[in-house]
């Protein structure tokens, strides 16, 4: 009987992220679902139909309550486009729902922008 392999490490405290963003997105450069940074995402409670990577699992964990794509990107420490691809995978797997920001979420509204900036600064 073989011993189980050591757990994989995706982050090194000194070196930072060991997996490159294009690896997380399987080389894709565009999400299959249109999302904006202020789009709202939330876990459905369903298990993903497909096997997904550790970044997908982490993103799903951040979406237990409704949050923005920008917030998930900040927490994952990934570029926004890669985060959108990860979230798009979760939408297609049935594990996540997404809705576009409503008219009240005007991107020029300074209060919204200040909230996003505050959230990003707390994460860094």
The string of pLDDT tens digits covering residues 64-100 is 999 999 999 999 988 888 899 899 999 999 999 999 8
67 is a domain residue: yes
21 is a domain residue: yes
First vs last Cα of the chain: how many Å apart? 44
78 is a domain residue: yes
What does DSSP assign to residue 18? S
Q: Please report the sign of the dihedral spanned by the C-alpha atoms of residue 100, residue 102, residue 105, residue 108.
A: positive
5 is a domain residue: no
97 is a domain residue: yes
Cα separation, 107 vs 47, whole angstroms: 32
6 is a domain residue: no
- Tell me which residue range forms the domain holding 111: 11-123
Q: In the predicted model, is pLDDT for residue 5 greater than 50? A: no
Residues facing residue 97 across a β-bridge = 42
Report the alpha-carbon angle 40-70-23, nearest 5.
Answer: 110
2 is a domain residue: no
* Total structural domains within the chain: 1
Mean pLDDT (whole number) for 93-110: 78
Q: In the predicted model, is pLDDT for residue 8 greater than 90? A: no
Query: 52: Cβ–Cβ under 8 A, 6 or more apart, which residues?
Result: 89, 90, 93
19 is a domain residue: yes
Mean pLDDT (whole number) for 24-41: 77
Q: What is the pLDDT of residue 120?
A: 81
Greater pLDDT, 47 or 103: 47
Q: Please provide residue 112's backbone torsions phi and psi, each rounded to the nearest 5 degrees.
A: -65, -45
């Amino acid at each position: 009987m073989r011993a189980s392999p050591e757990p994989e490490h995706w982050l090194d405290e000194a070196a930072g992220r060991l997996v490159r963003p294009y690896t997380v997105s399987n080389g894709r450069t565009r999400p299959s679902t249109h999302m904006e940074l202020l789009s709202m995402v939330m876990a459905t409670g369903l298990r993903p139909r497909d096997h997904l990577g550790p970044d997908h699992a982490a993103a799903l964990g951040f979406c237990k309550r409704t949050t923005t794509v920008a917030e998930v990107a900040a927490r994952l420490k990934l570029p926004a486009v890669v985060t959108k691809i990860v979230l798009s995978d979760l939408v297609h797997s049935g594990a996540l729902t997404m809705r576009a920001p409503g008219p009240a979420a005007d991107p020029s509204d300074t209060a919204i922008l200040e909230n996003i900036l505050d959230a990003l600064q707390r994460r860094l």
